[in-house]
Amino acid sequence: MYFQLRIISVLGFKLMVDVTRSLFEVDETREIFIRDLKIIDSKDPHSWTNKIILGDCLKVLQKIPPESIDLIITSPPYADSRKKTYGGISPDEYVGWFLLISLELKRVLKPEGSFILNIKEKVVNGERHPYVLNLILEMQNQGWLWTEEYIWHKKNSYPGKWSNRFRDSWERCLHFNKQKKFKMFQETVMVPMGDWAKSRLKRLSETDMRRDASKVESGFGKNISNWVERKMAYPTNVLHLATECGNKNHSAAFPKALPLWFIRLFTESGDTVLDPFLGSGTTCVAAKELGRNYVGIEMNEKYCELAVHNTEQAKFNSQRLSVHSRDSIYQSEEYNFMSESIYQTYYDYLVENVLTPFYEKRFEKLSKLRLLDVLKRKNPYLFKAKNIELASDFVKSIVDAYLSSQEETIFGNLLENFAIFVSSTLYNGSKSELNSIDLEFERDNCYYIVGIKSGTSWGNSDQINKMKDNFKKARSILRDRGVKGEIVAVNGCMYGKDSNPLKDKKKLKKGTIDEEPDKIYYKYAGQEFWQFLSNDENLYQEIIIPIDKEAKQKDELFKATYAAKVNEMTADFTNYFTRNYHIDWAKLIDYVSKKGKVLLEPSQEQTSLLLDEELDSEDIFDLSDALDLKDY
């Protein structure tokens, strides 16, 4: 069952996907929940794979075969934390308690494997307790190599403070190994170069074209020109991930994006991942989705059952399978590690601050709509040209046209606020007060100013030139305010496409010339705009999920209200603008266009078509005759 496939070709990648899928289809037929260790062959590593075990982790670890695990990733109970769940371990006793467990973890880990420990110091009597630092030192004495320290930046943490410190917004992810040479696949976690490269690498100086030694004589240097044409870059050791907001069944679930990142980095398809403090099963879910084997240990029966449920629901995802080829990485997804929790945050905002007020305003506009008011704003010649002859069709057309013109503006403004919310959540972006600028935020040493529009065809040449002038003024104002580094201007369009986002040319009657540097901007539309805001290429699709669900609920009531309003206005239209049940176009055009005041009175009594008693019954249309039906 253990395969180590290093396939570079696309055909080989498909083969790896098929093999891994077949492995997991077989595994899913086996029982994964283990209550009694006696049913596991303690000497056979394969019998432990894809199992979630109820029990004390130290006792279970002692039964696992040596050197059978490729990656350990876990978040144990922090000192004095989760007392209701796990009893709690005091800071003074924590090191001794964990060293017994880490010794067993070292035994079961393969020589080339890695151990990721997510942990954070506790504040005791107003100062940080050193138990984490002491644990690192004691683990080194135990034979572990402390290779690296990754920082998990919890980008959606709420602001706050205490008398002598601020709210925690990060946690340690300590990386331990048994030897200096270990498995690590850095290409699998590469990230897009970012917008800074488009402008920074466009105009290279002489210094950029050669290796520029560090001015502080550190021995390091850089050649900026080496980055030209590159699409991806290696990440830093700071992981910007939201905390888990949606899981309310466990007291301290970390986001799935965290184990996904480390599993990609340190394992291959078919490797085995262990979490000895499994909780709600996030690590096993991530391992299964990536085509890895998993072993989870959890002492709380309730959480163990929850972990089993979550893992059984997870599906192997071929798009998340790691590919250890640089070229293949570019062809596969540009990895984005947004956790489901941030999507839930977006969904909640969209429902509460976009869909709900949108429908409230629709109801308000519809309830205030009056026939005579809206008629003055509509072109009667257009409706005549469309050969509309039914009063109900005429009224429905003007109501739909009125609502459509209002709704585009209303929904566009609300969705613009959502775009600002996304930026504020991820990068502390804020609504701008500068002309033509809706959003300002800083990312990757660039300061962005963004003017947001609904679609791509939002303005004529004069309006676009005005926007560029305002971009230039905004750059000047921001520099005066002390903003340093590059200021990047963006025209963001919430839907649509633009195949040439960089707008660095000025159109003339004959050809084009280079635009003034301070008037250059990027035009990102649709998927590119939402990805620019969030670094998430799927966000433009995710937006539709809450919109679809909420709209179905609210639209039933709106349809009933809409039908009543159309019927009401149709009755008014029939009363004022029909003659013998035909639309009186002359009267309608007079009301809309005749100079001076037009006195509008109800139409005279309509004539009626009656069936009198002299009508021959044989002339009455018989459906059975039309269909040539026989009498029975």
Residue 404 has which token pair?
């459509």
Q: Residue 373 pairs with which residues in a beta bridge?
A: none
Give tens-digit pLDDT for 339-398: 455 777 888 888 888 988 888 888 888 888 888 888 888 888 888 888 888 999 999 988
C-alpha 543/C-alpha 558 separation (Å) is 22
What is the bridge-based pairing of β-strands 272-275 and 69-74? parallel
| pLDDT, position 11 | 40
CB 475 within 8 A of CB 466: no
What does DSSP assign to residue 161? Answer: B
Burial 187-223 (b: 16+ CB within 10 A, else e): bbbbeebebebebbbeeeeeebeeeeeeeeeeeeeee
Q: How many CB atoms lie within 10 A of CB 475?
A: 21
C-alpha 81/C-alpha 435 separation (Å) is 50
Q: Which amino acid is at 290?
A: L
| pLDDT, position 332 | 36
For the CA atoms of the chain, what is the radius of gyration?
A: 33
Tokens 């609300």, residue located? 414
| pLDDT, position 254 | 75
CB 168 within 8 A of CB 161: no
Q: Residue 506 pairs with which residues in a beta bridge?
A: 513
Mean pLDDT by 10 residues, the chain (632 residues): 35 45 47 90 90 96 96 88 60 95 97 96 86 96 97 74 76 96 91 65 68 56 64 84 54 77 94 95 93 95 92 70 38 39 79 88 86 85 88 90 81 91 87 93 88 90 93 94 90 92 85 89 94 87 82 82 91 89 89 85 59 43 42 40
Q: How many CB atoms lie within 10 A of CB 616?
A: 6
Q: List, as one string, the DSSP characters of 402-464.
A: HHHHHHHHHHHHHHHHHHHHHHHHHH--EE--STT--EEEEETTEEEEEEEESSS----HHHH
Q: Which amino acid is at 16?
A: M
| pLDDT, position 234 | 83
Which strands, in side-by-side order, build the sheet including 238-241? Answer: 33-34, 51-54, 293-298, 272-275, 69-74, 109-119, 170-177, 145-154, 238-241
For the chain, domains (ranges, CATH) are 10-192+234-337 (3.40.50.150)
Angle separating helix axes 391-427 and 544-577, nearest 10 degrees? 150
| pLDDT, position 1 | 34
Which element (helix H / strand E) includes 177? strand 170-177
| pLDDT, position 506 | 86
C-alpha 77/C-alpha 87 separation (Å) is 9
CB 289 within 8 A of CB 259: no
Sign of CA dihedral 283, 286, 288, 291: negative
| pLDDT, position 216 | 57
The number of residues in the chain equals: 632
Q: How many helices (H) and strands (E) does the chain have?
A: 21, 25
| Residue partners of 448: CB distance under 8 A and separation at least 6 | 195, 439, 440, 441, 442, 487, 488, 489, 490
C-alpha 143/C-alpha 103 separation (Å) is 9
**Whole-model pTM above 0.75?**
no
Sign of CA dihedral 139, 145, 149, 152: negative
Q: Which amino acid is at 552?
A: K
Sign of CA dihedral 350, 354, 355, 356: positive
Q: Which amino acid is at 401?
A: A
Which of 422, 480, 414, 420 lies closest to 449, judged by CA? 420
| Residue partners of 87: CB distance under 8 A and separation at least 6 | none
CB 440 within 8 A of CB 476: no
SS3 176: strand
SS3 473: helix
